């Protein structure tokens, strides 16, 4: 996990409870990257978990904010296990998440295992939509031509393979997970998605403003798709289609954008 100063301490506590207190199989290592200077409330919450978990909870502190991509890159490098489960500090892993993903790794020859996510606004018991992703490799690759093929907060992957394709791109402050999964596909990785939600993701207006909408996000979307074309992952038609659709959607009014994303979730 990586955390920065805008995170809500209560959301972070809830995320930690979900990956430790409530998990049927607990992790034997939790890596947290502090991406720059945090608030006093966040430091207090992190201190509480340090005292509770001891050596299992390992914190790396960065002097300044380096962005999500670079923070995640550092986190992967700090991990000592071959299998890494990704978690956002405001999301909630369901109790059998790790158990079900480990069972898939034991049963199948795969490198990345994801799952669906349930999306909620303020009440985690009231799921408003699901982000469904395809199960098998051929459909995952097809899906990746237009959208990220793995819900990043659900991802469990092999550390060695992630490092072999260059890890998260440190220059990216957006779409770093999509970029990583595309490079993994091009590198021959085998991906699989469990066909049920294993993580509940916090949504809302701030999520739309920070990650999905506005001219800046529209331009970043064009840059991402252009890079995929240069990598050879997209053809000219796919590039044109993605730019037109992605650019237009991100310039929609916030409420309309929210409605569009709900429709997309059902496709």
pLDDT tens per residue across span 135-181 = 999 999 999 999 999 999 999 999 999 999 999 987 766 789 999 99
Is the pLDDT at 73 greater than 80? The verdict is yes
Q: How far apart are CA 232 and CA 160, in angstroms?
A: 23
How many other β-carbons are positioned within 10 Å of the β-carbon of residue 20?
17
Residue 207's pLDDT is 47
Q: What is the mean pLDDT of residues 190-198?
A: 98
Which domains does the chain possess?
2-203 (3.90.550.10), 204-267 (no CATH)
267 versus 75: which is more confidently predicted? 75
**Mean pLDDT, all residues of the chain:** 91
Is the pLDDT at 105 greater than 90? The verdict is yes
Q: Is the dihedral of CA 149, 150, 152, 157 positive or negative?
A: negative
Q: How far apart are CA 201 and CA 93, in angstroms?
A: 9
Burial 230-245 (b: 16+ CB within 10 A, else e): eeebbeeeebeebbee
Is the pLDDT at 242 greater than 70? The verdict is yes
pLDDT above 70 as % of the chain:
89
Residue 205's pLDDT is 46
Is the pLDDT at 182 greater than 80? The verdict is yes
Q: How confident is the model at residue 209 (pLDDT cuts 50, 70, 90)?
A: very low
Residue 215's pLDDT is 74
248 versus 131: which is more confidently predicted? 131
């Amino acid at each position: 996990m990586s955390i920065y100063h805008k995170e809500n301490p209560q959301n972070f506590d809830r995320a930690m409870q979900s990956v430790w207190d409530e998990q049927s199989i607990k992790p034997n290592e939790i890596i947290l990257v502090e991406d720059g200077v945090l608030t006093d409330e966040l430091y207090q919450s992190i201190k509480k978990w340090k005292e509770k978990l001891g050596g299992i909870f390992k914190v790396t502190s960065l002097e300044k904010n380096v962005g999500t991509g670079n923070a995640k890159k550092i986190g992967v490098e700090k991990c000592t296990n071959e299998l890494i489960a990704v978690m956002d500090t405001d999301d909630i892993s369901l109790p059998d998440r790790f158990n079900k993903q480990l069972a898939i790794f034991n049963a199948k020859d795969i490198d990345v295992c994801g799952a669906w996510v349930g999306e909620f606004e303020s009440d985690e018991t009231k799921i408003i939509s699901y982000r469904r992703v395809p199960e098998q490799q051929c459909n995952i690759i097809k899906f990746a031509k237009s959208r990220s093929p793995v819900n990043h907060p659900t991802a469990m992957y092999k550390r060695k393979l992630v490092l072999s394709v260059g890890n998260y791109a440190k220059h990216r402050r957006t779409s770093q997970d999509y970029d990583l999964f595309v490079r993994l596909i091009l590198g021959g990785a085998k991906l699989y998605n469990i066909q049920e939600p294993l993580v509940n993701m916090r949504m809302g207006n701030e999520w739309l403003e920070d990650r999905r909408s506005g001219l800046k996000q529209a331009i970043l979307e064009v840059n991402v798709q252009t890079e995929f074309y240069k990598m050879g992952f997209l053809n000219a038609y796919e590039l044109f289609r993605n730019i037109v659709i992605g650019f237009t959607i991100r310039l929609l009014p916030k409420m309309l954008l929210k409605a569009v994303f709900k429709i997309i979730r059902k496709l």
